[in-house]
């Protein structure tokens, strides 16, 4: 039987401990995060959710100081979920913890309203440092990502230099990436919790925004883009 987003009741928070909501569709990931966080004297997991919809239910009933969230989950896009959180709970800090390369996703997450982005491979100590930094009112990204953002802000951009990929919505960007990884419409639909018809609509919008003539051209473009990101000489192998 597939595990649900519900879990056993977390430990009662001690006085002064800041409350964290975990949002991730993998129960084992949530369990590992909860074990790490609940060992801290100043932090406690106050709730868990396996999807944005479940998270909304928890937030309606529980006071939360920080949301720790993945960005690839069934149903609503994780990036759109961050935007929703900022609209309904203004100022609620969100730290994205994701397997996706920060060089591709971090800026989008920050633009959506997240206060930080850390990759799951970063390790427990770095994660705790990121949590505390954001709870202290700061923004957290890795030093490498910070350097890239500063370079983007300071370097003059020639007219027309903006990548066509930037024109894609967050959901279209997710679909585009999955196309580049060789996923078909039904597989993308299953992974993102969408209908195949909705995925086809997104594919049509992507083709239009990237000025691509047909599905073959879209696949070729997406595969090339993903390969380019994977072989960027400025990134670690």
Q: Where are the domains of the chain?
A: 18-150, 164-230
Q: How far is it, in rounded angstroms, from Cα 32 to Cα 88? A: 28
pLDDT, tens only, 2-27:
444 444 444 544 568 999 999 999 99
The pLDDT of residue 203 is 94
Element (H, E) at 19: strand 18-23
**pLDDT (average), residues 42-56:** 93
CA 100, CA 106: separation in Å to the nearest integer?
Answer: 9
How far CA 176 is from CA of 96, 105, 120, 198, 208, in Å, comes to 21, 13, 22, 13, 13
Query: Which pLDDT value is given to residue 235?
Result: 39
pTM of the model: 0.71
pLDDT, tens only, 132-165: 999 999 999 988 888 877 766 666 555 554 567 8
pLDDT at 231: 46
In this prediction, residue 3 carries a pLDDT of 46
Q: Are 51 and 62 in contact (CB under 8 A)?
A: no
pLDDT in tens, 169-209: 888 888 998 898 899 999 999 888 889 999 999 999 999 99
**pLDDT at position 23, please?**
95
Superfamily classification of domain 18-150: Response regulator (3.40.50.2300)
81 has a pLDDT exceeding 70: yes
Q: What pLDDT shows up at residue 5?
A: 47
Q: Give the pLDDT confidence score for residue 30 in this predicted structure.
A: 95
For the stretch 99-116, pLDDT in tens is 877 777 888 899 889 999
User: Given CA atoms 183, 187, 192, 198 in this order, what sign does their dihedral have?
Assistant: positive
Q: What is the pLDDT of residue 7?
A: 45
pLDDT in tens, 34-43: 999 999 999 9
Distance CA 23, CA 82 (A): 11
- Cα(223)–Cα(179) distance, integer angstroms: 7
Q: What is the DSSP string of 91-124?
A: T--EEEEESS-HHHHHHHHHHHT-SEEEEGGG-H
CB atoms within 10 A of CB 27: 16
Is 1.10.10.10 the CATH classification of the domain at 164-230? yes
Terminal-to-terminal C-alpha distance of the chain: 38
% pLDDT > 90, the chain = 46
pLDDT value for 174? 86
- pLDDT band of 228, cuts 50, 70, 90: confident
3 vs 221: which has the higher pLDDT: 221
CB 154: neighbour CB atoms within 10 A?
Answer: 7
How far, CA to CA in Å, does 42 sit from each of 19, 108, 131?
A: 9, 30, 11
Give the residue with greater pLDDT, 102 vs 216: 216
Average pLDDT on 119-129 reads 93
């Amino acid at each position: 039987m597939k595990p649900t987003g519900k879990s056993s009741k977390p430990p009662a928070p001690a006085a002064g401990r800041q409350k964290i909501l975990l949002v991730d569709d993998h129960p084992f990931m949530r369990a590992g995060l909860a074990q790490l966080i609940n060992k801290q004297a100043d932090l406690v997991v106050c709730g868990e959710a396996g999807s944005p919809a479940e998270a909304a239910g928890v937030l309606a009933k529980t006071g939360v100081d920080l949301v720790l969230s993945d960005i690839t989950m069934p149903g609503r896009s994780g990036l759109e979920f961050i935007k929703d959180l900022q609209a309904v709970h203004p100022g609620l800090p969100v730290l994205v913890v994701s397997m996706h390369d920060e060089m591709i996703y971090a800026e989008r997450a920050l633009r959506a309203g997240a206060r930080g982005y850390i990759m799951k491979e970063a390790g427990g100590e770095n994660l705790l440092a990121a949590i505390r930094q954001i709870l202290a009112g700061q923004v957290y990204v890795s030093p490498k990502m910070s350097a890239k953002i500063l370079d983007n802000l300071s370097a003059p951009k020639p007219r027309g230099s903006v990548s066509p990929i930037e024109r894609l919505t967050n959901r279209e960007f997710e679909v585009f990436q999955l196309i580049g990884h060789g996923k078909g419409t039904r597989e993308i639909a299953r992974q993102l919790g969408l209908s195949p018809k909705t995925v086809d609509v997104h594919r049509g919008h992507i083709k239009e925004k990237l000025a691509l003539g047909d599905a073959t051209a879209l696949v070729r473009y997406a595969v090339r883009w993903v390969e380019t990101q994977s072989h960027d000489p400025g990134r670690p192998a």
